[in-house]
Amino acid sequence: METSLELSQDILHKANAWLDSPAVDQQTKEDIATMLQQDPQAVKESFYNDLEFGTGGLRGVMGVGTMRMNKYTVGMATQGLANYILKQFPGQKNKVAIAYDSRNNSKFFSDTAAQVLSANGIEVYLFDELRPTPVLSYTVRALNCQAGIVITASHNPKEYNGYKVYWNDGAQVLPPHDKGIISEVRSVAGIDAVKFNGDLTKILSVPQEVEEKYLSEIKATVFAHEEIQKSSSLQIVYTSIHGAGITMVPRALKELGFQQISVVEEQAIPDGNFSTVASPNPEEREALSLALKLADQIGADMVLGTDPDTDRVGIAVRDNGGKLVLLNGNQSACLLVYYELMQWHQRKMFKGHEYIAKTIVTTDLLEEIARSYQVKWYDTLTGFKYIAGVIRDREGQERFIAGGEESYGYSVGEFVRDKDAVLSSVVLCEIAAWCNANGKSMWSLLMEIYEKFGLYHETLLSLTIKGLDGIEKINQMMASLRNSPPKVLGGSPVAIIRDVQSGEQKNMQTGANTKLDLPASNVLQFILEDGSKISARPSGTEPKIKFYFSMKEPLRSGSEYHVQVEKIESRILRIQQELGLIN
């Protein structure tokens, strides 16, 4: 085949290994042969490397080849996970729970994982239909499983799918288990080393009572039962954006007494093609456009939208002028944490060992709120799994009240060890009902928080540097910021530089260095004298770098909100120019 001569020997070797493997099905072999004859570029993209099993698992475009999500890459990942579980828990009756969302092939990949695990003697609890990721997190602990798997690619485009691994605490894997699983996955010799022929006697359905207990735990977090009953007229529009949330969110809200729930029917049907949106990401206004339109048509008070695997939720509320406003992740987190601490305080529930948790790029307003209630707060690396790690490490000694991250992921209480959009949707609606019963709105409550603590306003600038040298350019950018850090930004001197990679924080006035209580990660933070914070965090796997900007201004009245935001954003723009991020 002359066209295949354009391909490297390594790529041809990988493709031919699949063609020669007795474990690979005939259709896949025919697809590879066709690509070799007609589309060398497709062969290159499919076989130029192995799909990397990272600290969170797998994520990639679906298709044929070593660089794609398919039966065989999922099988090899699961074989590696099985090998690790059997080494960690020898001689035990090992169990793994598996859930999946609405993405194309999610059920097929979950079945594949179940077959491989059962073939290795591991009992599998598999959901009969799609379910939210947090339900899987809860199930792992409820059934005393050694691990869990969720088949999802979160809010990625429709071409993608993914594979997330959870450990026996119900949280995504952390050190040392993440590295241990990666090592075992890499040690799987190839497709022929995977045990695909499962033992059906070891594949069981998740008992219905697990979901009932999960919903009971959610109900137990609610304080404002009377206010919910008084606010039965509160109108809520909900969209699952074609994802798993439709199976749980409306039910949870209705069982708590919210009756005026209007579901966006066009998006209620699980659909891996996400046919009504460009991206199923509740952080983007376009994904919630149908919900916002319906809310305006019926005069609804608020809008909720969850992502495909239902661990993140976007919310829109009406401002003082009656206009629907999309809250960002920091604003929703502040409302949630403030409300929970207020309720705990009013009920005299504090015992002196409670805390909240957030990530280092999430608003510091959460810290201010916690301090006002004399409650501890913990900062973690970006990713809710690190908050879950704090909960695990302090379990039985301190009590987690609530927390979250700026990317729309929050949780309340310790019974779920991941961000939970089912639980968060319930609590956000509870806050709306409490506000309504007390003659205010969620927007006015947010303004009260800003008036009390100051207006914190955050923006995110994400840069993708294309080309083969994109990652190298980003590395150079970070090196420049480390070696020649700015002394002044936006007119305010840089007071503190935090380098999470070196684990040190430097006071630029005194020159004193202090150690950071964080694992090493390639993150730089510049704290200005006026309290502003700029964070730089590159991706470890793609040519992308994110800059987080957090500024603070006083707010005497909610009527000044838009003026003060405009002032802050003008300053952020100036800082972005000073850093050379924009022209």
For residues 78 and 99, give the distance between their C-alpha atoms in angstroms, rounded to a whole number: 14
State the pLDDT at residue 287.
Answer: 96
Q: pLDDT tens-digit profile of 396-433?
A: 999 999 999 999 999 999 999 999 999 999 999 999 99
| Same domain, residue pair 487 and 424 | no
Token pair of 322, please? Answer: 């009656």
> If you search the block for the tokens 């490490």, which residue do you land on?
393
For residues 572 and 569, give the distance between their C-alpha atoms in angstroms, rounded to a whole number: 5
Nearest by Cα to 136 from 109, 98, 169: 98
| Same domain, residue pair 499 and 523 | yes
Q: Which of 134-148, 269-283, 461-475 has the lowest mean pLDDT?
A: 461-475
| Same domain, residue pair 439 and 319 | yes
- For the chain, what percent of residues have pLDDT higher than 90? 92
Would you give the end-to-end CA distance of the chain in angstroms?
49
213 phi, psi to nearest 5 deg: -65, -40
DSSP string over 320-332: TTS-EEEE-HHHH
| Same domain, residue pair 447 and 525 | no
| Same domain, residue pair 184 and 287 | no
| Same domain, residue pair 402 and 466 | no
For residues 162 and 558, give the distance between their C-alpha atoms in angstroms, rounded to a whole number: 43
**pLDDT of 3 over the 60 cut:** no
SS3 204: strand
CA 581 to chain centre: 26
The domain boundary, picked from 142, 174, 206, lies at: 206
Verify whether residue 154 is a known catalytic residue: yes
106-119 helix and 71-88 helix, angle to the nearest 10 degrees: 40
Q: Find the domain containing 106 and state its range.
A: 49-206
Q: Is residue 26 part of a domain?
A: no
Q: Is residue 489 part of a domain?
A: yes
Query: Average pLDDT of the chain?
Result: 95
**pLDDT of 437 over the 80 cut:** yes
Q: pLDDT tens-digit profile of 318-348?
A: 999 999 999 999 999 999 999 999 999 999 9
Q: Is residue 16 part of a domain?
A: no
CB-based burial label for 20 (10 Å; 0-12, 13-18, 19+): exposed
| Same domain, residue pair 179 and 248 | no
Give the mean model confidence (pLDDT) for residues 266-293: 96
For residues 41 and 55, give the distance between their C-alpha atoms in angstroms, rounded to a whole number: 29
Mapping DSSP onto H, E and C, the string for 336-370 reads: HHHHHHHHHHHCCCCCCCEEEEEECCCCCHHHHHH
| Same domain, residue pair 236 and 116 | no
Nearest by Cα to 365 from 438, 451, 494, 460: 451
Tally of domains within the chain: 3
From 46, 106, 110, 154, the catalytic residue: 154
Strands across the sheet with 57-61, in order?
57-61, 160-167, 147-151, 95-100, 123-126, 203-205
Give the mean model confidence (pLDDT) for residues 223-249: 96
- Confidence class for position 6, pLDDT limits 50, 70, 90: low
**pLDDT of 4 over the 50 cut:** no
Give the type of residue at 347: R
Cα angle for residues 65, 66, 67 (degrees, 5° grid): 90
Q: pLDDT tens-digit profile of 7-63?
A: 788 999 999 999 999 999 999 999 999 999 999 999 999 999 999 888 789 999 999
Q: If you ran DSSP here, which 8-state letter would residue 521 be given?
A: -
Number of helices (H), then strands (E), belonging to the chain: the values are 18, 23
Q: Is residue 1 part of a domain?
A: no
CB-based burial label for 189 (10 Å; 0-12, 13-18, 19+): exposed
Sign, CA dihedral 317-287-523-378, equals positive
State the pLDDT at residue 1.
Answer: 37
- CATH number, position 564: 3.30.310.50
CB 70 within 8 A of CB 98: no
State the pLDDT at residue 541.
Answer: 67
Q: Is residue 3 part of a domain?
A: no
Q: Is residue 420 part of a domain?
A: yes
| Same domain, residue pair 185 and 230 | no
Q: pLDDT tens-digit profile of 138-150?
A: 999 999 999 999 9
For residues 304 and 288, give the distance between their C-alpha atoms in angstroms, rounded to a whole number: 8
For the chain, helix, strand, coil in percent to 5 are 40, 20, 35
Nearest by Cα to 133 from 381, 277, 313: 313
Give the mean model confidence (pLDDT) for residues 355-372: 97
**pLDDT of 2 over the 50 cut:** no
- Residue 496 CB neighbours (<10 A): 16
CB 35 within 8 A of CB 3: no
State the pLDDT at residue 583.
Answer: 82
CB 331 within 8 A of CB 458: no
Q: Is residue 23 part of a domain?
A: no
The domain boundary, picked from 453, 477, 510, lies at: 453
Q: Is residue 228 part of a domain?
A: yes
For residues 369 and 356, give the distance between their C-alpha atoms in angstroms, rounded to a whole number: 10
| Same domain, residue pair 445 and 563 | no
Q: pLDDT tens-digit profile of 177-207?
A: 999 999 999 999 999 999 999 999 999 999 9
**pLDDT of 543 over the 90 cut:** no
For residues 216 and 280, give the distance between their C-alpha atoms in angstroms, rounded to a whole number: 29
Q: Which of 105-109, 213-217, 232-236 has the lowest mean pLDDT?
A: 232-236
The domain boundary, picked from 171, 206, 241, lies at: 206
- CATH number, position 348: 3.40.120.10
Token pair of 10, please? Answer: 């390594």
CB 105 within 8 A of CB 63: no
Token pair of 196, please? Answer: 């695909």
| Same domain, residue pair 223 and 366 | yes
| Same domain, residue pair 387 and 446 | yes
Is the link from the previous residue into 134 a cis peptide, with omega within 30 of 0? no
Which residues are CB-neighbours of 284 under 8 A, at least 6 positions away?
A: 278
Token pair of 298, please? Answer: 């019926």
Q: pLDDT tens-digit profile of 379-391?
A: 999 999 999 999 9
How do 399-405 and 354-359 pair as beta strands?
parallel
